[in-house]
Amino acid sequence: MREHDVIIVGGGLAGSSAALEIKRRNPNLDVAVVAKTHPIRSHSVAAQGGIAASLKNVDPEDSWEAHAFDTVKGSDYLADQDAVEILTKEAPGVIIDLEHLGVLFSRLENGRIAQRAFGGHSHKRTCYAADKTGHAMLHELVNNLRRYGVKIYQEWYVMQLILEEGEAKGIVMYQIIDRKIEIIRSKAVMFATGGYGRVFNTTSNDFASTGDGLGMCAVAGIPLEDMEFVQFHPTGLYPVGVLISEAVRGEGAHLRNSEGERFMERYAPNQMELAPRDITSRAITLEIRAGRGIHQDGSAGGPFVYLDLRHMGKEMIMSRVPFCWEEAHRLVGVDAVYEPMPVRPTAHYSMGGIPVNTDGRVRLSGDNLVEGFFAAGESACVSVHGANRLGSNSLLECVVYGKLTGKSIASYVEGRKFPEFDENNYLINAKNRLKGLLEQKGAIRINELREKFQNCMTEHCGVFRVEETMKRGLERLQELKQEYLQVYLDDKDSCWNTELIEALELGNLMIVGEMILTSALNRKESRGAHSREDFPARDDANYLSHTLAYYSPAGIDIHYMPVVVNRFKPKERKY
C-alpha cells in the first residue's frame, strides 16, 4: 500500500490551489495529486471569460460588499452568506497572489490588471487573460506544483473513496496505461473532481466532467447538496454545445431572435444581455418555444437564436474574444465579424455538490463532519452560488476555497497518524469490479446507453421542469439502470482501455442524474436555475433551505438544511 500525508483527487484549479497552499505552509508534508487526465487538461483550462474580484482598477466605486450582494442576489438568496463574505473579501488578495505566481492577466493602458463587465455583476470586476483565463491560471499553478515538489499521479483513475466509521482513510485507483490497481492511505483525503456536465446531451463541459467524485461520495453514504441546481449557460454554440463565453456579451454583443429583436428588453430591461444566466437561458428557451428561434437557413421557428457581435468591429473582436471567434469559425464555419453566431442554452455548471463548511471539511449532515475528508471547487458545495452562479465566480471559488481548504488540511494533519484498514478487501473488490465489467455478457454498448441516459435527463430535467415529466424521467432512469447491467465492452485490453473508464464514468453519471431528478422533484418552488412550471414562484416559507440527498440503491432520501442569512434579507429578484 502506498501512503501520502495528503491525497488530493483532481488537478484542476481547486486541487492545485489546495496542494500548493499545503506545501507553502508546510514543505515537509508529503502531498500527492491524482488526476484521470493530465492536470493541465482538467476542465479548468477551458475557462474563458475571467475571475471576479473588487480590485477597483476600472470601477473605483466597487467594494467586496457590492460583490457579496450581487452574488447573494444572483444565487436567489440560497447562498450561505458567511461563505460569500469570505469569497468576496479574499478575492483581491488571491488575484495579486496569482499574478505573483506568474499568471499573465490582460492589462489596462496604465498597466493595471484589466476588468470587464459580467452578467449579474453591478460593477466591472472580472479580471481576465483575453478569453483564455483558465489556461493562463492553470498552467502557472501546475508549474508551481512541480516547483514545490507535489507528487503527481497523472492518468490514474480513482474508483473508490475508502470511508470507514465516519473517517476517510484513502482511495482506490488504477493506472490507465496498464490497469495496475493501487491503494493509497493518507491522513487527509480531498476531492476536487470538478463538474458533471456530461449528465446532459448538450454541454459546454469536457468529456471528463462526469461527476465521479459525487458518485463515489454518494455510494459511500455522504449526502449531496442542492443537486437540483444545474446551470444552463445561455450561449452554447449550436449545434455542438461548446461555450461562447459570457465575455462576448460583457464586451457588448447582442442577442436577437428571428425577428431581429433584442428580446432581452422584455425579460431584463435594465441588465439586458448581462442579466444572470438563469434568466437569460429561460428567455432564449421561451423565444425558441414561441417560434422566434431561427433555422440554419435563417427562417423563423428554429432551434437557436443569434449572438450578434458585428457592431463591435473586427479589432475589438480579435483582441478581446479571439478564442470565441475561432471556435465559431472552426466548429460551425461562422465568421463572427460578418455573421451572427447561432446559440442556445447548454448544460454548464453544477451549483450543488459535496457539502462542505468554510474550512472545506465535508459534512455528513448539518454540523456533523466526516473525519479526514475535504472538498473544494465545482465538485463541492460550500454554497457561494446558491441557486444560480454568477459568471467569473467559479474560478474565484476554486482559488479562494482551494487555498482555504489547503490551509485547513495543513493544520488538520499535524500530529495525525496514518489510518489503519484492511487493504486486501479493497484490492479484491476493485479487481472484481473491473473484471465484472469486462466479462459482463450483454448486447448494450456504452455510447448507446450513455446517449439514452443523456437524452432522458435533458428531456425530463432541463431548463424548465414539471412534476409529471420528472416522474417519467425517474421511471425511465430505473429502466436504464437495468440496461447498465447488460452493457458489453468490446475492448478487453489492459492497456489504455478507455471503454472501461467510460463504463465506470457512466455508473457515476447515472447516480448523479438520479440525485438531480429526485432533488428537483422534491423542491416544489422556482428559485434560480431550478424553474418549475407547476410552481413558478419562489417559496421562502418552505424552501429557503439547502437540499441534502442521501443515496442508496433502494432509493434516495431527501433532507433539508438551513441557509446562512446574516447580511442581506431575501428580496424579490429583478434585473
Ligand X SMILES: Cc1cc2nc3c(=O)[nH]c(=O)nc-3n(C[C@H](O)[C@H](O)[C@H](O)COP(=O)(O)OP(=O)(O)OC[C@H]3O[C@@H](n4cnc5c(N)ncnc54)[C@H](O)[C@@H]3O)c2cc1C
How many residues touch ligand X under the rule CB under 6 A: the total is 46
Indicate the residue among 75 and 258 with the shorter CB distance to ligand X. 75
SS3 560: strand
Cα separation, 525 vs 534, in Å, equals 8
Cell numbers representing residue 200 in the block? 446532459
**String marking each residue 382-421 x if it binds ligand X according to CB under 6 A:** ---------xxxxx--x-----------------------
Cell numbers representing residue 516 in the block? 438531480
Q: Which stretch binds ligand X (CB under 6 A): 182-190, 207-215, 314-322, 336-344?
A: 207-215
Cell numbers representing residue 433 in the block? 469490479
**DSSP string for residues in 535-548:** S-S--HHHH-EEEE
Cα separation, 573 vs 568, in Å, equals 12
Indicate the residue among 378 and 499 with the shorter CB distance to ligand X. 378
Cα separation, 154 vs 167, in Å, equals 26
Quick check: 14 binds ligand X (CB under 6 A)? yes
Quick check: 92 binds ligand X (CB under 6 A)? no
Cell numbers representing residue 225 in the block? 447538496
Quick check: 43 binds ligand X (CB under 6 A)? yes
Closest approach of Cβ 483 to ligand X, in Å? 22
Indicate the residue among 42 and 106 with the shorter CB distance to ligand X. 42
**String marking each residue 442-481 x if it binds ligand X according to CB under 6 A:** ----------------------------------------
Helix 498-522 vs helix 446-460: angle between axes, to the nearest 10 degrees? 20
Q: Which stretch binds ligand X (CB under 6 A): 89-97, 190-198, 267-275, 542-550?
A: 190-198
Indicate the residue among 193 and 285 with the shorter CB distance to ligand X. 193
Cell numbers representing residue 103 in the block? 499568471
Cα separation, 192 vs 20, in Å, equals 14
* Among 381, 333, 384, residue whose Cα is nearest residue 356: 381
- Single out the residue of 223, 353, 377, 462 in contact with ligand X (rule: CB under 6 A): 377
Cα separation, 503 vs 493, in Å, equals 14
Closest approach of Cβ 403 to ligand X, in Å? 12
Cα separation, 536 vs 540, in Å, equals 13
Tally of residues, the chain: 575
Q: Could you tell me if 66 and 122 are in contact, meaning their C-beta atoms sit under 8 angstroms apart?
A: yes
- Single out the residue of 19, 23, 39, 356 in contact with ligand X (rule: CB under 6 A): 39
Closest approach of Cβ 43 to ligand X, in Å? 3
Quick check: 15 binds ligand X (CB under 6 A)? yes
Quick check: 208 binds ligand X (CB under 6 A)? yes
Active site annotation includes 363 = no
- Single out the residue of 6, 32, 47, 563 in contact with ligand X (rule: CB under 6 A): 47
Tell whether omega for the bond before 223 is within 30 degrees of 0, i.e. cis.
Answer: no
Cα separation, 565 vs 563, in Å, equals 6
Q: Which stretch binds ligand X (CB under 6 A): 5-13, 86-94, 432-440, 455-463?
A: 5-13
* Among 211, 166, 168, residue whose Cα is nearest residue 186: 168
SS3 396: helix
- Single out the residue of 29, 34, 328, 520 in contact with ligand X (rule: CB under 6 A): 34
Q: What ranges make up the beta strands (E) of 137-201?
A: 151-154, 156-164, 167-175, 181-191
Closest approach of Cβ 422 to ligand X, in Å? 23
Quick check: 157 binds ligand X (CB under 6 A)? yes
Q: For residue 505, what are the CA distances in angstroms to 35, 64, 434?
A: 14, 39, 13
List 116, 277, 320, 361, catalytic entry: 277
Quick check: 158 binds ligand X (CB under 6 A)? yes
Quick check: 46 binds ligand X (CB under 6 A)? yes
Closest approach of Cβ 231 to ligand X, in Å? 9
Closest approach of Cβ 119 to ligand X, in Å? 11
Quick check: 193 binds ligand X (CB under 6 A)? yes
Closest approach of Cβ 49 to ligand X, in Å? 3
Indicate the residue among 208 and 510 with the shorter CB distance to ligand X. 208
End-to-end CA distance of the chain: 56
* Among 41, 34, 31, residue whose Cα is nearest residue 9: 34
- Single out the residue of 23, 31, 48, 373 in contact with ligand X (rule: CB under 6 A): 48
Binding site for ligand X (CB under 6 A): 9-15, 34-37, 39, 42-44, 46-51, 133-134, 157-158, 192-195, 204-205, 208-209, 212-213, 243, 349, 377-379, 391-395, 398
Active-site residues, by number, are 277
